Structure 1
Amino acid sequence: MARTLPGGGLCEWRDSQAAAEPDLAQGRLADGVFWGEFAKREPKASLAAMRELMGWLAEGKIRPRISARYTLEQSAQALNDMAARKVTGKVVILPQA
């Protein structure tokens, strides 16, 4: 089901199938936001949307999906996993083991 994000960005929402993975607002995942292009075309709306999203983050209404964490030494593997589409969320590089 497509929904419009604050400020007009389009986002595709789908029910989560994996209970073990952290989900976004109300057990749903957001996919397909072309934020960079939206920010270029609509800078004021993009800023307003970002402020609203950051408010939701601060209130605990949403949380980023962290797919994997890698040490700095594992950075090459992190890039390989991203290229192979083995990750479905953010990749975190930890500066210290």
Structure 2
Amino acid sequence: MKLTRKHSKSKEEVREALDSIAGDMQKKFGIGHKWEGETLRFNGNLVSGYIANSGDEITVDLKKSFFLPVPESTLKGWVEEYFNKYLG
């Protein structure tokens, strides 16, 4: 699943927001994460993928494990909630 959203935050604000999102994902799903430039990569047993910041746009590419018992539409809703909470 791939989602993109425009934003008007600075590079530092986006990085801070993505760190907060990664912390939430670690608590909720036990996901590890690391930065590669302006891309936050994450990997866990239930979901993996990346969140990339390219100027005024955030792209999330999320891969759901077969073992995560929620539909893709629910995951999309969670991503949208994170966007709204952390990026406005």
Structure of greater relative contact order (alpha carbons < 8 Å, 6+ residues apart): 2
Whose strand proportion is higher, 1 or 2?
A: 2
Same fold (TM over 0.5): no
Compute the TM-score of the two structures, normalised by the length of structure 1.
Answer: 0.28
